[in-house]
A and B are shown apart, each in its own frame.
Chain A
């Protein structure tokens, strides 16, 4: 059974801090790892990672994958209150139909 574990489950920081969110996984026939940001309801896509060691960046957010150690991290620098959300990690299996398994998510709260 595919498994995705995120840590920490909850994190409270002050504006300007840098945070690192962790995601470890066990999946048969790994295809990709995805990060989503969920505010209020629907998750929005952040990154898709398929190769080890290649950092993906989008503004203050960056992410990297380690396929040997089976984990990924999501970094957010110079956090802002608008970064407050649940960050979801999901892994996708190599299969005929797309199948995502999600972790529990990390609840990030950024205080002014």
Chain B
């Protein structure tokens, strides 16, 4: 079991729904990440937070809204998603100064109908 947890593990939502994905890490890290993994595509970095500050937004549509209230928690708020947003959403964390291993959570499998 890794030190990064994600909830829910599975989510089905309609295009008009609003939902949130949650990530929590207990590794003492200060950097957290959201990745999107679509079928047959490379893992895509979406957002990076260092010490609760967003340092990277990789041209992600505004229907995805991240929130990092503290170094241990990261949220991804979802609204008016499209079917093509269906994917596995992975959260990861790392130490920001020793930029090497990122530890991944189990992911949330999202299906948008």
Enumerate chain A interface residues (CB-CB to B < 8 A): 4, 31-32, 34, 41-45, 48, 88, 90, 92, 96-105
Give Cα A9 to B69, complex, Å.
Answer: 39
A4 to B45, CA, bound (A): 13
Nearest to B99 among chain A residues (CB) is A98
Nearest residue in B to A5 (C-beta to C-beta)? B42
Q: Indicate whether A100 sits within 8 Å of B42 (C-beta atoms), given known contacts A41-B88, A42-B2, A42-B107.
A: no
Choice from B45, B55, B102, B107 contacting A41 with Cβ under 8 Å:
B107
Residues of A within 8 A of B50 (CB): 96-97
> Which one of B42, B56, B105 contacts A4 once the chains associate, using CB atoms below 8 Å?
B42
Nearest Cβ on chain B to A7's Cβ, whole angstroms: 13
Also in contact, A98 and B41, with CB within 8 A (given A41-B88, A42-B107): no
A104 CB, min distance to chain B CBs, angstroms: 5
Task: Contact check, A103 vs B2: say whether CB atoms are below 8 A apart.
Answer: no
User: When the two chains form their complex, are residues B42 and A97 in contact, meaning their CB atoms are under 8 A apart?
Assistant: no
The answer to whether B106 touches A45 (Cβ under 8 A) is: no
Residues from chain A with Cβ under 8 Å of B103 in the complex: 45
Question: Digit string of B18-44 for contact with A (CB within 8 Å is 1, else 0)?
Answer: 000000000000010100000011111
Assembly CA distance A90 to B44 (angstroms)? 11
| A101-B56 Cα distance, complex, nearest whole Å | 13
